[in-house]
Structure 1
């Protein structure tokens, strides 16, 4: 188990659990370990290097092997990244010339000559039928031999690994952070929580588990251990049943429930019975997931357990045999009758629902007394609402300015699928909007802890608050949707890697260049291998052993104001079906050569695990001063079932980008301005001698050990409960 848990800690916290073992002279091995780490863009902190140096050499070597495997995977260096054109980015041919070369090769091949001639007579040639197209023409080793070693540069990424505590202590701390998170976790966080909850079921527990998905995974571990379950709604039981079947605990996708053992069925039915017996009104929650409860009832056989009649009521409601009025239905009835004040009064019993309906309530008001009543109800509810709800509403109200005209609304669901619709809502009344913003700011300020001496890396100020784990993805250097970060480098290189699971799969990496009015200037793809701005590495059309594609861009030569890399699924398995897929980007100085993929230059590597057939991980924006910044997107477009190309989605991509770029997201800057204490922007110089609250992109080496440290790995800790 420890072999699996240690890399998890490294990936989630950038801390290496303190290796245990006999004392010795491990200094030489530790320095070799540090040098190996630096070759992939990581480094040991001074404290970690010192600790390893005092251990036996064998212990250091074993630790190095495990850790190097973990960090190479974090940077995407655990696979071989070959390129179709062996010299890429040099000597990439013109697209038409390359295609003619492929046709000439097919005509010279006895096995393909007749078929190619037949296609030429029709005037259309299928590139996929040409033997020289779409498959590597050289080995990975031959490609490496064609490139010089990377010249180290001061701008290369260097991620510091810090010394952690004992493995059990690190796992416990990670469990408490994940289980007790005040915001939903992403896919990787839920996956890790599922593992460590079993390990920590008998240890310390978080004071509260506010996110229902997290509670489901904790309950799964508690059920396996025979501990009491944490249930207060019937939906908690439904989520637990989904976890038992390895299904979706967010309930966004239907789960096929497995057959359950008799002890498990008894535990779930007893839990349902207790919840409904304590509060019969909670039967109304069944209606929102009626079909799922019906399918669960087929597995639980509630009729076999007459001693739990309240559990049977749950499934009677799901089947329509027992009628209950849902809370949402009562609200709809009041709004339909024009009773806005009554609806606000009813919603006051559920602060989260009240704030989610706030915009609609204000737009439904016809008189000032109604607007006053709705606003007052929201003000009274602020102390009871979750912190992430308050922040979400604050962001929403900021973007609902009174001078707003009809425009676009951008939506992104839990899975990251995005779409755009016209925004025809009238603006909110200015006095109520300002009054609500003031109330929200006051309540958020009240909940924030006193940071004492606050030390801030200015580069983190424009990072968006992670109000949902679904606003980001697993990976290295990944920031929440809406975040802005500096791009320091002259060469920008995108990469995508995928490995198909069972059938031929063709991913296509492309980059769309847009003007400041979001009009298309040009693109780079397999249909446009070269442009003034850069080069494409060549089209790979199947990946049984894994495949990579690259795009190289010279930022100084780039026309326009936006660069939008995208990954299109041309054919085969989806992002969630392939064995593995990820996207990232590298930054280099103009003179740096090296291999097409160099882990030291990787600034971001993000897993591609979302719905749809077109992935938009990030975009790049040119500022008025000519500098570039990354804008994090993490969205997927539905696309077509097959043959997705950059040419076909230019308009939808530009529309979506405009909606995200022109939206203001709540950032770290907003929260730090609300905090008390003494705030100092850190310029990278000497660190304070005493403990501080540090907020930055990376933990600096040399902070006082009693400091509170907030980095992107635990940025959710900033969100007040």
Structure 2
């Protein structure tokens, strides 16, 4: 368990909990540890190296083994990455030449010859029937022997591991940060919060837990520890029941409720009873989740507990035996009657819903007087709206001011994306501008005004993480819509997957688009070579894990956009496989090296979305000739089998256009609001570190910052979002 908890801290904070052990002469072992870390693109901070050097050699070796295992997993080096073509990217054949070679070898194989000849007679050939197609023809060791050594470069990624505090202190701080997050967490972070909640339920707690999914996970830990539950809606109890059953606390997917012990049933029923007794109007929330509440009632047996009559009302509403008009139904009735003022008055009691309805209300208002009422109500309730909703509406209004034929993109909580034409009437300019000014003022009011800001310029174009669900877990991953520069001559994508039971074939592809989003060409198993690029070859099954790569020489690529994608051709989906992840590497032209070199990995993210086509990010060449990445984290539905880049190029280009042309609120926007008259703002040059405390905002934490500094990096970027 200690290893998993150490690993959890390293993954989330890039800090190594203060190593324990007897004092000794561990300097030589510490230097060896540091050298081993460099092979996977990490290094020890000077402070951590000094701390390890004062421990015994055995203590250093024990610490190093656990940390190396963790960072190798973070970068994707915990598995063996073989390539179908042994000396990729050299000597990749043309597709037709390669297929012909496979057929020729099959005809020379007595076992395969008759079957292949029969197929050729009818003019249709199944590539999978060829013995040498889709399966590695060499071992991992043989592939390594065929490759040149990587030449180290100053441009290789270096991620610093810093010295942390004691493990208990690090876990408590991480628990408080995740539980108290003002934005929803992704699935991996939510799972980690569940682990922490079981350990930290009786310790220090955050001042508030604003995200309901987080609250459900925390409540599950508190219930197990005998602590009071944090419940103020009936839906809180439903989410808690889902957490206890190992189900989906976001309520997106149906949960199969487990049999619950009597103490747990009493706890849930008592919670429901208290909520309804305090505010009977909250019964209206049941209507939105009738079916889950009905199934939960079958597990709780409320009729056995007459002392909690209000809890029984919840299930009466779910069964339709008791009326409880929902808030949404009341709102719809007022809209049907064109009663805009009545709708606004109703929504004032639910400020978040008012903000989400602003665009609709401004579009359907009959005259300026009604629009003035909408704007006035929004300004009045703004202080009661969560920061992430205020920022989301601010971003929405900014994109509504641009008149164009841009498509409208929808993305659900699981990253599934779809695009439709935007046929909404415009929001009147004057009303939109008034709202934008008011929202900017509200956000500015909530933000701290530090004495001194130290800002890494590379963080300015990072999109605000208004929802952790918009970001996959991994290393070097930025929120959806973020823009980052690409420094390197060679861009290489990789995908790794390992099937659970059924034969599973993932296909790594890259769609190359012109400036108008029309198709230029693509790289895939059907097009192994294109201008400036090579594909490593098709692997069609992964019982022991498999990898595919695409290599691109950026100075030779003639397209404007490069869109890597992972298509599921056959078998298990992204959530069914044992493991799957995507990433990219950057290299200088002369570095050479194996297909996968961990120190050149710039980004590695888990593939765990709903859909059969994954779109992690898009690369765009700017007018200045430089390449930049824009982060997508999207999934398309695709088809049940045989998804291919040439079949989905139209839908992919529409999605890419919708995201590329949408402007996100960035860290730079918040920094502008934080920069008050009393704030000194310095852009960090990568070298000079101030002696005094600062608020540092950047992609990674530099060494040598004053211990009293506030540090915000990619790992805790959510801390910038005000409550």
Question: 2:155: which partner in 1?
Answer: 155
1:617 equivalenced with 2:594 (yes/no): no
SS for the counterpart of 1:291 is: helix
Report the counterpart of residue 91 of structure 2 in structure 1.
91
Aligned to 2:600: 601
Contact 1:486 1:628 in 2 (8 A): yes
User: What residue is the counterpart of 2:455 in the other structure?
Assistant: 456
Of 704, 718, 721, the match for 1:719:
721
Say how many residue pairs are matched: 720
Map Cα deviations across residues 432-466 of structure 1 (whole Å, 9 max, x no partner). Answer: 10110010000100000122200000000000000
3-state secondary structure, aligned to 1:210:
coil
Task: Give distance in 2, aligned partners of 1:539 and 1:477.
Answer: 27
Q: 1:406 Cα deviation (Å)?
A: 4.9
What is aligned with 2:661? 662
Matches within 5 A, 1:95-134: 95-134=95-134
Contact 1:405 1:427 in 2 (8 A): no
Superposition pairs of residues 165-564 of structure 1, within 5 angstroms = 165-401=165-401, 404-564=403-563
Distance 2:72 2:594 in 1: 16
What displacement does 1:377 show? 0.2
Structure 1 residues 588-621: Cα deviation after superposition (integer angstroms, max 9, x where no partner): 0000111100000000000000000000001101
How far off its partner does 1:517 sit? 0.2
- Partner of residue 694 from structure 1, selected from 676, 696, 700: 696
Runs of 4+ in 1 over 6 A off after TM superposition: none
How many angstroms does 1:259 deviate by?
A: 1.1
Whole-Å separation in 1 of the counterparts to 2:684 and 2:406? 39
Corresponding residue number in structure 2 for 1:60: 60
2:685 — aligned with what? 683
TM-score if structure 1 supplies the norm length?
Answer: 0.99
Write the mapping of 1:138-149 to structure 2, written as runs, cut at 5 A.
Answer: 138-149=138-149
Partner Cα separation in structure 2 for residue 314 and residue 86 of structure 1: 64
SS in 1 for 2:555: helix
The more displaced of 694-703 and 600-609 is 694-703
Cα distance in 2 for residues equivalent to 1:534 and 1:362: 50
* Contact 1:510/1:523 (8 A) holds in 2: yes
SS of alignment partner, residue 409 of structure 1: strand
Q: Is the 8 A contact 1:383 1:443 kept in 2?
A: yes
Is the 1:460–1:668 Cα contact (8 Å) retained in structure 2?
Answer: yes
TM-score by length of 2: 0.99
Q: Matches of 1:147 and 1:704 in 2, distance apart?
A: 45
1:641 alignment counterpart: 640
Gaps of 5+ in 2: none
- The separation in 2 between residues aligned to 1:239 and 1:427, in whole angstroms, is 38
Retained in 2: the 8 A contact 1:185–1:469?
yes
Structure 2 contact 406–661 (Cα < 8 Å) conserved = no
Contact 2:193 2:217 in 1 (8 A): yes
Helix, strand or coil for the counterpart of 2:562? strand
Query: Pairwise CA RMSD of aligned residues?
Result: 0.7
* Deviations, residues 367-390 of structure 1 (Å, cap 9, x unaligned): 111001000000001100000000
Structure 1: distance between partners of 2:167 and 2:285:
41
Distance (Å, rounded) in 2 between the aligned partners of 1:55 and 1:407: 60
Contact 1:622 1:628 in 2 (8 A): yes
SS in 1 for 2:105: helix
Checking the alignment, whether the CA contact within 8 Å between 1:293 and 1:315 is kept in structure 2 is yes
Inter-partner Cα distance in structure 2 for 1:320 and 1:175: 40
Deviations 1:395-435 (A, max 9, x none): 0000011x524541101110000000111101101111011
Superposed displacement of residue 685, structure 1 = 2.2
Could you tell me how far apart the structure 2 residues matched to 1:42 and 1:3 are?
Answer: 19
Partner residue of 2:35? 35
